Structure 1
Amino acid sequence: MQLTAVLTPAEEGGYVALNPETGTTTQGETVEEAVANLREATALYLSEFPLPSTGNPVVTIFTIPTPSHA
């Protein structure tokens, strides 16, 4: 099963990792540690609350213009 990991830098250092399909969130000092922790937390969640297989997630990014101050 492929799931999504969204990582953002944490204020105190390291990364916060979120799986949007399940809402599980964790953290780690490195990207690799954050993803490993998220994998474990998500597996535990899914052992109690299985998700139907819906295919592979599609992830993209977008930008918005920043306001210019005249």
Structure 2
Amino acid sequence: MQVTAILISAPEGGFTALNPETGTASEGETVEEAIANLREAVELYLEVFPLKVSGTPLVTTFTVAEHA
């Protein structure tokens, strides 16, 4: 099953990893560690709450105006 991982640089270092399909999140010092930790969290979630994902996720970014 293919799911989405969104990684955000953490202010204190490392990365926060989020999976929007399940709402799970994890952290890691490197991208690889953050994804591995997120994979484990998603797998544990899916053991309790099975999820049927259809199609391939589409992830994009967009720009918003900054206000002082």
TM-score (norm 2): 0.90
> Residue 44 of structure 1 aligns to a residue in which SS?
helix
- 1:49 — aligned with what? 49
Partner of residue 8, structure 1: 8
Secondary structure in 2 matching 1:25:
strand
The TM-score normalised by the length of structure 1 is: 0.87
Q: Report the aligned-residue RMSD.
A: 1.3
Residue 2 of structure 1 deviates from its aligned partner by 0.8
**1:64 matches 2:64:** yes
**Larger-Rg structure:** 1
Partner residue in 2 for 1:17: 17
Runs of 4+ in 1 over 4 A off after TM superposition: none
Q: Tell me the CA shift for residue 64 of structure 1.
A: 2.1
Counterpart amino acid of 1:14? G
Distance 1:18 1:53 in 2: 16
Q: Equivalent pairs: percent with the same residue? A: 62
